[in-house]
Each structure stands twice: as C-alpha cells, then as structure tokens.
A and B are shown apart, each in its own frame.
Chain A
Amino acid sequence: MVVAFFVLTVILFPFGVGPEPELLQRIAAGIVWVTALLAALLSLERLFQSDYEDGSLEALALLPLPLEIQVLAKCLAHWLVSGLPLTLVAPLLGLLLHLDAAGYPALMLGMALGTPVLSLLGAVGAALCLGARRGGVLLSLLVLPLYIPVLIFGVAAIEAEIGGFGPRPHLLLLAALLILALTLVPFAAAGALRQALE
C-alpha cells in the first residue's frame, strides 16, 4: 500500500512538470525524498490508534516490559512495512526520473538511515494525537516540520555524491539524527502514551 502510494505519487511528477529528462534529472533526488516523507506519514496514524480504541494499549502499559521498549518495537514494525520497502523501491524510481548513476548509493544509504528517523519521530506525533479530533490532519501538521532535517541531509547526500564531493558528511549527520532519535523518542512517545491513557 505504502509502496503503491510512493510509486504513484512519484509518477505524477513527470505529468506535472513535463517529461524532459534534464529537468527530471535535476529534481529527481528531491522528488523521491519528499514523496518518501509523505508515504511514511500515511500509515503513521494507525500506529497506536487501533490499540488505543480497543483497549489493548492499556493492557500493554500494564506489562512488566517498559513502555519505552514497546514504542521501539512499534517503530521497528512501522519501519519494516514502510521505510524498508521505500528504500528498496527508491532506486527504481530514480531510474524512472533519470537520476544520475552516481547518486544511487547515496540514495539507498540515505534512505536506510533516514526512514527509521521518520518512523521514530512519527511515533511521537501518533502518540500525541491519540483521541484528538481530526487526528490525521493534525498529525501531519505536527510531524512534517520535524521531518525537515532528514529531507535536507537526505537530498544533500545525493547531490554531493553527484557533484563529486562525497556524501559521507551528510550520511554521518543522518546517522547522528538516527542515534539521537533512537535515544530520545522512546521517552517522549512513552510519556505521550501514558498521558493519553490517564
């Protein structure tokens, strides 16, 4: 589902901006990354929603296993069904958009490092929106501004690789974001879940 949305949205761009290969080549990295952001957002709303509605979230909170660890497990599950497939499909879309051949390793590596951050940050947003009115729109308003650094470094890595500078610093920064999110997000998301259950 997420992959179908990803592919379809990317395919819309040549219709929108025109099929000239030079133009598409110039904006390919940006299109793939922006679309990946939106695709990751798509499935976030359901991350805790059904568990919250049928009460299993309360049962989970009572387990001896800390809620923080459970949040990490949820994020991993979300990444496996959204981030990982997106990473695997991204080169194909790069091909469709005439992405410069030099950019593929940076695209794959950047997506592999960046999409887990999207799942993690999204988990905080999803937990905060539990029980809110118009949760879906609210979630995108909360989460999209926080996604900006991932987008910037993801695209910058590809452009640096194509430009011949080497993507290493940008990929390292993406890795730093991932480590930061891995350490801080579980506490924020678990706190948000606890206040939702009170």
Chain B
Amino acid sequence: MFRLANPNRFMHWSGKLLPWCAVSTALLLAIGTWLALFVAPADYQQGEAVRIMYVHVPAAWMASFVYAMMAISSAVALIWRHPVADIAARESAPLGAGFTLLCLVSGSLWGEPMWGTWWVWDARLTSVLVLFFLYLGYIALVNAFDEPTRGARAGAILALVGAVNLPIIKFSVDWWNTLHQPASVFRIGGPTIDPAMLWPLLIMAVGFTFFYVTLLLVRMRSALMAAKLRALRLQQSLAA
C-alpha cells in the first residue's frame, strides 16, 4: 500500500494492470450477459422479466461495495496522508453513484411489470435512494472548493461520517417500513435461488467488480496526469 503512495510507481503498476482488467471485464460481462439472456431459465412466475435481476443485483451489490471502498480509501488518506488513496476515494464516488442509479432504474423497470408500480416506499428501495443522495452530497462537497486538496480532505471526513451513519439509516429505515406496512408481498427469489440462475448472477457480479476496477484505474490515471499537467503549466508560467 505504501509503495503505491508514489504517483509515478502507481502509474507504472496501474498501466501494466489495466489491460488485464479491461480484458477480464469484457470477457466476464460478455459470458455473463450470454448466460443471463439465453442460458438461464425464465422464472416460473415472473417469466422473462426475471433477467433484469442479472443487472439489478450486481448493481445493488456494487453500490454498497463502492461506498465501502470509498470509506476505506478516505480513512487511509486521512490517517497516512496517502495521496493516491485520496484520488481513489474521489474518483470512486461518481462510479458508485452510477451503480446506485443503475440499481434504482433497473429496479424500477423490474417493479413495474412485477408489482405494478414504478416505486414503492419499501425499506430496501428507500435506503438505496438515501445512499444515492450520500454519493451526490460527497461529489458536491469535493467539487465545492477552489483548492482541490481542501475538497479531498473534507470529502474524506464526510465519507467516514456517512460510513458510520449508513448502518443506522439502513436499520432505522427497515424498522420504519415494518412498523407502517403489513408484511411485504414482494419477496422475490430469496436464498433458495436455483444454481442455473446463481451462476450467471455470480459471473455478472465479478464482471461488474472488474468493470469498476478498470474504470477506477482509468479515472485515477487521468486525474494524476491532469495534476501533473497543472504542475507543469504552473512551472512554465513561473519560468516565463
């Protein structure tokens, strides 16, 4: 971890790693999509619409995974002043927000044929929506300062406060829902999912993770290059 604190060394390693990640992403997503669309059976109750699951569930998983990554990178950045961790946290946020939005939209599209409505104030839906707003708040805060390092430091503290609060919000929202609504009618799948559906799902999930890592590396590399460019320009203007 500390060896990667040097941006030049990070650029070297990430440059080597990037093609492998990109190829794995493409392969896994292609295989996963093929399995999900053509091989996996249709659900006896939901018919073909169940295939939305292969996008929706990995996206939901990534939404919380990326937040966890963001919080860990923020902690590393705050504790050890690790410059690359700072960038990792900042560049993860838009990706996480994207996965969260994908989860919400695909869930909405799934809900319409299944439950007959685009949106329900169900505990799970609501906590994902709150997570989306936490991402938006983080992105807004990081970009609200003229000085980029200020934004990163403030964002790191916010990410950690959010990480402490997220379980509390999740738990309270769960409870709020069970108090005010009768038992949910829409329990889909459950843990008794058939292996024929489980395998495509797992492959898609790993594919999504590689997709995130690939995009994150690309974003971090371009952020580092942009910082270098800024420094060079500053040097030039000082010399001139």
A residues touching B (Cβ–Cβ < 8 Å)?
124, 128-129, 131-135, 138, 141-142, 144-146, 148-149, 152-153, 156, 159, 173, 177, 180, 184, 188, 191-192, 195-196, 198
Find chain B residues with CB under 8 A from A192 CB: 154, 157
CB-defined A-B contacts under 8 Å, sample of 30: A124-B161, A128-B141, A129-B141, A132-B141, A132-B154, A138-B141, A138-B144, A141-B133, A142-B137, A142-B141, A142-B158, A144-B133, A145-B130, A145-B133, A145-B169, A148-B173, A149-B165, A149-B169, A149-B172, A152-B172, A152-B175, A153-B172, A156-B179, A159-B179, A180-B168, A184-B164, A188-B160, A188-B161, A191-B157, A198-B153
Partner of A156 from B134, B164, B168, B176 at Cβ < 8 Å = B176
A70 to B145: give the CA distance in the assembly, Å: 25
Find chain A residues with CB under 8 A from B164 CB: 184
Chain B residues touching A, majority SS? helix
B150 at the interface (CB under 8 A from A): yes
Find chain B residues with CB under 8 A from A142 CB: 137, 140-141, 158
A129 with B157: CB separation less than 8 A: no
Size of the B side of the interface (Cβ < 8 Å), in residues, is: 28
- Between B161, B168, B169, the greatest number of chain A beta carbons within 10 A of the residue's beta carbon is seen for B161
Q: Nearest Cβ in chain A — how far from B170, in angstroms?
A: 10
Find chain A residues with CB under 8 A from B161 CB: 124, 146, 188
Q: Nearest Cβ in chain B — how far from A8, in angstroms?
A: 26
Find chain A residues with CB under 8 A from B42 CB: none
Q: Nearest Cβ in chain A — how far from B177, in angstroms?
A: 10
B168 with A177: CB separation less than 8 A: yes
B145 with A131: CB separation less than 8 A: yes
Closest 9 A-B residue pairs measured CB to CB? Answer: A132-B144, A149-B172, A195-B153, A152-B176, A142-B137, A141-B137, A152-B172, A145-B133, A128-B154
The digit string for B133-162, where 1 denotes a CB below 8 A from any CB of A, is: 110110011001110001001100110111
